[in-house]
Amino acid sequence: MTVRTVGILSPGEMGSSIGYVLHQHGARVVTCLAGRGQGSHERAQQASIEDLPDLEALVQQADIILSIVPPAVAGAVADQVAAAIRATHADVLYADCNAVAPSTVHGIAQTITDAGARFSDAGIIGPPATRPGNRIFASGPGAQDLAQLREQGLDIRVLTGEVGQASGLKMCYAALTKGLQALGTELLVAAQLMGVDDALRQEQNQGDIAQIRAYIERALPSMLPKAYRWIGEMEEIARTFEDLGIPGRMLLGAADVYRDVRDEGKLRTELRVPSPTS
């Protein structure tokens, strides 16, 4: 398989950064911005991502499509792409890179393969691809083909296993990082409302827990604009755990935290975001 053109749905912060890296390493990068807002158009332009008129054109011209969308809409996007594949009989590899449960990604894989295309499970860990530390784990029958994007600058790591392995790894990783941020948000606001935030800070700045406190405070500013995406992600992690027969309620609570932040509820209005120098 020769990869010349990569489709990205859609050029959000992560998607546009991956598109930029691919373009810088010689790939043609395309998307479909129909119905998208001005921000998506601006990010695509800045990353040199070409806008195609519709999904039919996208599936016909792309060798690989990377789905990088909010978890709550991953299935709907796959349905739309599958319809375009059926209409065009396109030979394309669809990689679902979204933060969804293994059971969710199995359903998406079925949708795509039933339409006649190939599929790879993928999980993105780390910051945007333009910064050090971004890596993409892949599993399933299309993983080796997806790994060809190493030649276009991406850190693709293939897991030995079936569809669901990459998504499962992402779920467990995010359960700690984003689950911890949700817990941190609640405890910081609770301490503030009870007037014990200074005493709590002094206690938490001692020993190993100081690193956890520092991580939470560093993460808060960037968490705020992403909270709307993380609601669905926490629900997918809860589903992952419950599918394994272990409790997922803790992550549903984290989803409630991010829902409050998105809706500017009490947590959001009371939260004091630490300054970079505090």
Question: 22 and 147 share a domain?
Answer: yes
- For 226, phi then psi, to 5°, come to -100, -5
- DSSP-derived 3-state class of residue 273: coil
Q: Based on the fold, state whether residues 49 and 87 are members of the same structural domain.
A: yes
Please tell me the predicted confidence (pLDDT) of residue 277.
44
Same domain flag for 21 and 39: yes
Q: Would residue 277 count as lying in a domain?
A: no
Final residue belonging to a domain, choices 96, 127, 162: 162
Report d(CA 140, CA 121) in Å as an integer: 6
Q: What is the pLDDT of residue 185?
A: 96
Mapped onto helix, strand or coil, the DSSP state of residue 57 is helix
Q: Given a cut of 50, is residue 215 above it in pLDDT?
A: yes
Q: Tell me what the mean pLDDT of segment 158-170 comes to.
A: 97
* Domain match, 134 and 19 both: yes
Give the residue from 2, 37, 31 showing the smallest Cα distance to 16: 31
The number of CA neighbours under 13 Å toward the Cβ of 106 is 9
- Measuring CA to CA, which residue among 100, 10, 97, 15 is closest to residue 58? 10
Residue 61 lies in a domain: yes
**In the listed set 162, 194, 224, which residue is the last one of a domain according to the structure?**
162
- Residue 70 near residue 36, CB atoms below 8 Å: no
Q: Can you give the CATH number for the domain in which 199 is found? A: 1.10.1040.10
The pLDDT tens digits for 29-69 are: 999 998 888 999 999 999 999 999 999 999 999 999 999 99
Q: Determine, yes or no, domain membership for 246.
A: yes
Total count of domains within the chain: 2
Cβ proximity of 166 and 159 under 8 Å: yes
SS3 content of the chain, % helix, strand, coil (to 5): 60, 15, 30
User: Among the three residues 162, 188, 219, which one is the final residue of a domain in this structure?
Assistant: 162
- Residues 77 and 12 reside in one and the same domain: yes
Domain extent for 103:
5-162
Cα end-to-end distance, the chain, whole Å: 51
CATH code: domain of residue 47: 3.40.50.720
Same domain, 101 and 27: yes
Q: Residues 89, 144: one domain?
A: yes
Residues 144 and 265 reside in one and the same domain: no
